[in-house]
């Protein structure tokens, strides 16, 4: 077995969701879940098929995000994994809908941070062992940090 780290590109102003599903129908079902979650959502998604022709299947509403999803999914190359790129929404806006898709088995990450995927490769194929999402914790928040966090959530409309 060989271990490697695959860097997942996250374009400026975008969020990415990395997950695992189990069937070719995943592409259409994820598309429907996303398209009906947020009006005018811009997204691209790609799914790594793990049997038959083992192709990267894709769809979306934004050409740039579909290209980013295709390229990163091919680079990742882990069977049954999927990537969703969002612009104009946060993962919190769509994550429950994504998790409710019948084929979805697991969500590994939902982030705008730099993302790395720890991958194992055997003679059979590649699989995700885990993710590295953003940076290492540097300390404990102070009262000032708490106030900044609370203010930020109100500025972006998630708290009143």
State the Cα–Cα distance between residues 90 and 112, nearest whole angstrom: 9
Q: What is the pLDDT of residue 158?
A: 85
Contacts of 109 (CB under 8 A, 6+ apart): 16, 17, 18, 115, 131, 133
Q: What is the pLDDT of residue 156?
A: 86
pLDDT(160) > 90: no
pLDDT(159) > 90: no
Instruction: Dump pLDDT digits (tens) for 30-40.
Output: 999 999 999 89
pLDDT(104) > 90: yes
Domains of the chain: residue spans and CATH: 2-155 (3.40.1520.10)
Q: What is the pLDDT of residue 20?
A: 98
Mean pLDDT of 144-150: 96
Mean pLDDT of 122-148: 96
The CA–CA distances, whole Å, from 66 to 24, 53, 56 equal 17, 20, 11
Nearest to 66 by CA among 126, 130, 132, 11: 11
Nearest to 76 by CA among 37, 40, 11, 128: 128
Region at 80 (left for phi over 0; alpha for psi -120 to 50; beta for the rest): left
**In the chain, what are the helix, strand and coil shares in percent, each to the nearest 5?**
30, 35, 35
Mean pLDDT of 144-157: 93
Other CB atoms within 10 A of residue 15 CB: 23
Sign of the four-CA dihedral 153, 155, 158, 160? positive
């Amino acid at each position: 077995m060989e271990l490697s780290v695959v860097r997942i590109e996250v374009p400026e102003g975008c969020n990415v969701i990395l997950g695992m599903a189990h069937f070719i129908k995943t592409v259409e079902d994820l598309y429907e879940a996303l398209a009906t979650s947020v009006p005018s959502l811009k997204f691209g998604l790609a799914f790594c098929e793990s049997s038959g022709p083992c192709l990267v299947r894709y769809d979306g509403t934004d050409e740039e995000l579909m290209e980013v999803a295709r390229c990163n999914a091919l680079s990742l190359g882990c069977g049954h994994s999927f990537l969703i790129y969002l612009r104009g929404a946060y993962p919190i806006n769509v994550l429950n809908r994504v998790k409710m898709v019948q084929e979805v088995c697991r969500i590994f990450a939902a982030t705008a941070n730099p993302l790395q995927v720890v991958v194992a490769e055997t003679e059979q194929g590649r699989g995700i062992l885990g993710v590295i999402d953003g940076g290492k914790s540097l300390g404990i928040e102070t009262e000032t940090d708490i106030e900044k966090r609370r203010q930020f959530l109100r500025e972006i409309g998630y708290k009143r």
